[in-house]
Amino acid sequence: MATLLTRRMLLQCTLGATALRLAPAIAAPAESRIALVIGNGAYRAAPLKNPPGDAAAVAESLRGLGYEVSLRQNTRLPELIEALREFSVRAPKAAVRMLFYAGHGVQVKGRNYLVPIDADPQSEDEIPRQSADVGEFVDRLSAIQNGINIVVLDACRVNPFAAGVIVGPDGRRLKFRGATPGGLATLDAPVGTLVAFSTAPNGVALDGATGKHSVYAQHLLANMSTPGLQIEQLFKRVRIGVAEATGRVQVPWESSSLTADFCFKSNEKGRCGSS
């Protein structure tokens, strides 16, 4: 209980108070873009091959697009919580704020959690105090009154603490990022926020059987630097590509309440769109 209270105090009190206090007073520079990129693969149980490499590639791409990027790989719980805390403190000063997370993620009683590599729960009830609550993090960002938030979760949408294999469209046995059907809970994006999931509700996110990237990260990387491509169209392309590549075993999904146009890379006229 002490660990759970400490984590919640750290996220809810420190981050929430900071964001709410600073957000109304700070006008973020239009060019200011920051990103936190996390890739967790070295789990004690159900290790994943792709997330550290996925995170490194996404971080490199974002840096090339002008983002100030913090890259974290194979984070334990204190490191995961501190990375989210540090990012949330810096967030009010930025016009664009992005989290990319690759690794295990689970749902417990309607709440979604990012799982550090040292998590070892003996029951479902232990998961919240051994993981990071995605909803709390999104709430902290949504309290900021300027700019936009992008949260991309290439996470398992099911429980990784039980063994699970599915048979893909080509007959291969595919280890996926989790095991208990049900997946992550639906997360409605607050105003000014887009939340992208690597698979639809109740679906599964595949860890790549071949190659150095997950199928979702592969298609995200292929489209993110397209000049003028608006973010909604970007994720539509990713969804089509992933669905085709997996025979519709995995179909990405987004929740968006963005109120302004956004693209990762502007066109030759410095705008989003084809003209």
pLDDT for residue 55 is more than 70 = yes
pLDDT, tens digit, for every residue of 142-193? Answer: 999 999 999 999 986 545 665 444 444 444 444 444 434 456 777 889 999 9
Q: 137: part of which helix (H) or strand (E)?
A: helix 134-142
d(CA 156, CA 214): 11
d(CA 108, CA 88): 23
What confidence score (pLDDT) does residue 208 get?
A: 60
What confidence score (pLDDT) does residue 127 get?
A: 87
d(CA 106, CA 120): 13
Contact 236, 193 (CB under 8 A): no
What confidence score (pLDDT) does residue 46 get?
A: 79
Alpha helices by DSSP H, 65-122: 77-90
What confidence score (pLDDT) does residue 204 get?
A: 67
pLDDT for residue 122 is more than 50 = yes
What percentage of the chain carries pLDDT values higher than 90? Answer: 56
pTM higher than the cut 0.85: no
Count the Cβ atoms, other than its own, within 10 Å of residue 225. 14
pLDDT, tens digit, for every residue of 61-120? Answer: 999 999 999 999 999 999 999 999 999 999 999 999 999 999 998 888 888 899 999 998
pLDDT, tens digit, for every residue of 220-237? Answer: 999 999 999 999 999 999
SS (H, E, C) 173-190: EEEECCCECCCCCCCCCC
What percentage of the chain carries pLDDT values higher than 70? Answer: 74
Helix (H, G, I), strand (E, B) or coil at 53: helix
Strand pairing partners for 107? 112
pLDDT for residue 248 is more than 70 = yes
Chain centroid to CA 84 = 12
What confidence score (pLDDT) does residue 162 get?
A: 54
d(CA 40, CA 100): 11
Residue 38 vs residues 61, 145, 205, 227, 269: alpha-carbon distances, Å: 14, 25, 16, 25, 33
pLDDT for residue 5 is more than 50 = no
What domains, with CATH codes, occur in the chain? 2-256 (3.40.50.1460)
pLDDT for residue 27 is more than 70 = no
Residues in Cβ contact with 54 at an 8 Å cutoff, skipping those fewer than 6 apart: 39, 102, 154, 213, 214, 217
Closest CA to 115 of 27, 170, 215, 48: 48
pLDDT for residue 20 is more than 70 = no
**Total residues belonging to the chain:** 275
d(CA 105, CA 154): 9
Over its C-alpha atoms, the chain yields an Rg (Å, rounded) of 18
Query: Pairing mode, if any, of strands 193-197 and 173-175?
Result: unpaired
Average pLDDT, the chain: 82
Count the Cβ atoms, other than its own, within 10 Å of residue 27. 12
What is the band of 45 on the pLDDT scale with cuts at 50, 70, 90?
confident
What is the band of 25 on the pLDDT scale with cuts at 50, 70, 90?
very low
What confidence score (pLDDT) does residue 275 get?
A: 61
pLDDT for residue 207 is more than 70 = no
What confidence score (pLDDT) does residue 254 get?
A: 94
Contact 115, 167 (CB under 8 A): no
